[in-house]
């Protein structure tokens, strides 16, 4: 999304891209994601404001890592029917991969009901995988609107097909101050 919005890399003007072409691509992406959303795909996104997190971490040293907060919201909130299994795909280069594996293995070991018991596998993939690109699109759109206030039409569309959460200082402390992450 960063390259597309700034017309760099694959989306450069030299390769035939312009604002109108990027906008058409975004509209097409939203349509495809919306169609899949109606067939069981779930899109979840959260933004944790780093400065607010670091302030909370100074006050609550046992606060879980910022990536674990995002994983908890995005994966912990999945609505999985009882008789279904889940396959999760994460970008192998992201810090989230380490956190999701840690939480998944811990939840499975404790035999806690929910997403962890229904998750058959967590698969590391390259960032170019379509599912990862769709997730990045949602995350970028919502995050950009929440932190910069621009591209509101994209954020509105992304919010329409996803569940999302902003973790500012108050939300971090309210949900995780007594977490005692270790």
Q: What is the pLDDT of residues 77-106, one digit of tens each?
A: 887 777 888 778 778 877 777 777 777 887
The Cα 115–Cα 17 span in angstroms is 41
Q: What confidence score (pLDDT) does residue 157 get?
A: 60
Residues 6+ positions from 116 with CB-CB distance below 8 Å: 103, 104, 107, 108
DSSP summary character for residue 171 = H
Q: Under a CB-based contact definition with an 8 Å cutoff, are residues 74 and 45 in contact?
A: yes
Q: Under a CB-based contact definition with an 8 Å cutoff, are residues 96 and 67 in contact?
A: yes
| Residue 11 CB neighbour total at 10 angstroms | 19
Q: What is the pLDDT of residues 7-48, one digit of tens each?
A: 998 889 999 999 889 888 878 887 777 777 666 677 777 889
Query: Would you say the pTM of this structure is higher than 0.75?
Result: no
The domains of the chain are located at 43-176
């Amino acid at each position: 999304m960063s390259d597309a919005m700034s017309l760099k890399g694959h989306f450069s003007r030299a390769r035939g891209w312009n604002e109108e072409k990027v906008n058409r691509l975004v509209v097409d992406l939203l349509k495809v994601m919306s169609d899949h959303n109606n067939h069981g795909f779930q899109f979840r996104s959260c933004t944790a404001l780093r400065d607010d997190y670091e302030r909370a971490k100074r006050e609550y040293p046992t606060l879980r890592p910022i990536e674990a907060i995002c994983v908890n919201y995005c994966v912990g909130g999945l609505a999985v029917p009882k008789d279904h299994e889940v396959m999760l795909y994460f970008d192998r280069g992201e810090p989230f991969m380490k956190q999701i594996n840690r939480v998944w293995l811990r939840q499975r070991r404790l035999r806690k009901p929910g997403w962890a018991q229904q998750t058959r596998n967590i698969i590391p993939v390259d960032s170019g995988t379509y599912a990862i690109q769709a997730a990045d699109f949602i995350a970028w759109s919502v995050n950009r609107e929440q932190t910069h206030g621009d591209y509101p039409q994209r954020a509105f569309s992304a919010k329409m097909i996803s569940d999302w959460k902003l973790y500012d200082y108050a939300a971090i402390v309210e949900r995780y101050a007594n977490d005692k992450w270790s």
